Amino acid sequence: MHRTPPTQHPEAGEGPRSRDPYDLLVIGAGPAGLVAARSAAAAGARVALIESRQLGGNCLHQGCIPSKTIIRSAQLIAEMRNGPNFGIGAPADVTVDFPAIMVRLRRVRDRIQRLDSASRLRAAGIDLHVGHARFVSADAVEVNGTRLRFKKALIATGSHPPAA
């Protein structure tokens, strides 16, 4: 059995068959899309989640999580260097090990990503479709040649489309 690592989304050919019509169809598996899909599924809705890139979106992979992780390391370094002003003895030579900071960043990102892996989403009753959604009518999209009908749709793709 092929298992997808948590840092990647499943292959496009692994998509589920449509459960028409879905109560909620969510386009975009970033923070907003993931929360909406999980919440709706927990309330008993039939949910389809469509993602064309990576689960977790820009926030997890390039934006919020990486930047906050690096900023926290920088804050700690500054606090250690400023320790004597607070009566705290700090090592005279506080050094920065950037490769170690990046290891921590990847560890934090992987821990978060495990919560929203493809297998956990499926276990929560969410049908995950990988590909680009294209609206073909007021109540249907097409993903990789499969038509998905819905009652409600949420477009949670972020503030601008990803670069090609």
- pLDDT tens column, 109-118: 888 888 878 8
Percent of the chain with pLDDT over 90: 52
Residues 24 and 27: their CA atoms lie apart, in Å, by: 10
Residue 63 CA: distances (Å) to CA of 58, 59, 100, 111 = 6, 4, 19, 16
* Mean pLDDT, all residues of the chain: 84
Q: Residue 5 has what pLDDT?
A: 40
> Is residue 8 predicted with pLDDT exceeding 90?
no
Q: Is the pLDDT of residue 73 over 70?
A: yes
Cis geometry, peptide bond prior to residue 21 (ω within 30 degrees of 0): yes
Q: Model's pTM, two decimal places?
A: 0.73
